[in-house]
Amino acid sequence: MKHLLSAADLSRSEIDSILDLAEEMADVQRRPIKKLPTLRGRTVVNLFFEDSTRTRSSFEIAGKWLSADVINVSAKGSSVSKGESLRDTVQVIDAMGVDGMVIRHSASGAPAQAAGWIRGSVVNAGDGTHEHPTQALLDALSMRRHFRSLRGGFDEDWSGKTVAITGDLTHSRVVRSNVLLLRTLGAKVVLVAPPTLLPSGVTTWPAEVSTDFDAVLGEVDVAMMLRVQRERMSGGYFPTPREYTIGYGLTTDRLAKLRPDAAILHPGPVNRGLEMAADAADAGASRILDQVAAGVAVRMSVLYHVLGGADDKETNA
């Protein structure tokens, strides 16, 4: 695998390979000395044109635990703030001899464009409202762990699983990658949002669409709540935050209607009281902190796959 730009690029076997290796990589998180020699001598640049805490930290930790040299570059304080173009920026960094770039950008398609301009590998860490493939992979790992923890286990057959993704679908890149990845795995996806937050063309996506959260709540294996991205909203997408919560929040009342074996996910950061009640975020069914932990393991696995570690067979995991 040269790049990871879209969840659509991954076959079922590639997804399983990434998730299986992520489980091995997760052992490193539990060790007193968190270091593998796998990417020793490789250099990775985290090139973030948008603010991020958990994604950039997660990639940085993942690279360092694999012994790669990791350099963080943000738009603020770099030549980008002087007007340098994306193409010039990535080609200048590539000319220094780095092996890979992890790119987050506000423009959809920016990482894919960069991949065509440089020699090294590119991992999409979120582009505009387009995709966030490593988030979908870590969500899948958290779901798989949850299914395996249930009585009776999990035979890796996702075809009987239903995932409801609820919230601000219009501005979410997480939902697009999750729909693509979950369909490749074979799960059923139901998208739930008020009509004003349904993306244009959503009826052509490989998912069911509903505007009635209560109608689907009791049937789902996973309730994935999305953040309301008010910083991307230029107009009124719903009358008031309270009315949004009444219609689409995972409230205490709705928490009681979830199946006992259902899991709760949220890509974070959580707006408690808006997308979900505090007792839902902290419920035993919540996998939110596991998602954060899974993020490091998945990104270690992704870096391993795209930077040639898979060819070296030197994980020593």
Q: Which residues are annotated as a binding site for L-aspartate?
A: 82, 173, 227
Sequence ranges of the binding site for carbamoyl phosphate: 54-55, 104, 132, 135, 268-269
Query: How many C-alpha atoms does 75 have within 13 Å on its Cβ side?
Result: 15
Annotate 106-174 with DSSP letters as a single string. SSTTHHHHHHTT-SSEEEEEEETTTB-HHHHHHHHHHHHHHHHHSTT---S-GGG-EEEEES--TT-SH
**Residue that is written with structure tokens 């998730």 in the block:** 19
Residue 272 pairs with which residues in a beta bridge? 276
Q: Between the CA of residue 124 and those of 14, 40, 192, 199, what are the distances in Å?
A: 16, 22, 26, 21
In degrees, rounded to 5, the angle at the alpha carbon of residue 261 between the alpha carbons of residues 258 and 266 is: 65
Of residues 296, 288, 285, the one with CA closest to residue 266:
288
Task: Please answer whether residues 20 and 148 qualify as being in contact, where contact means their C-beta atoms are separated by less than 8 angstroms.
Answer: no
Spatial distance between the Cα atoms of 51 and 104, rounded to a whole number of angstroms = 9
- How many CB atoms sit inside 10 A of residue 167's CB? 31
Interacting residues of 225 by C-beta distance below 8 A, sequence separation 6+: 166, 167, 250, 264, 265, 266, 270, 275, 276
The 10 Å CB-count burial string (b at 16+, else e) for 112-124 is: bbbbeebebbbbb
In degrees, rounded to 5, the angle at the alpha carbon of residue 119 between the alpha carbons of residues 114 and 121 is: 65
Sequence ranges of the binding site: 54-55, 82, 104, 132, 135, 173, 227, 268-269
Measure CA 185 to chain center. 16
Residue 188 pairs with which residues in a beta bridge? 162
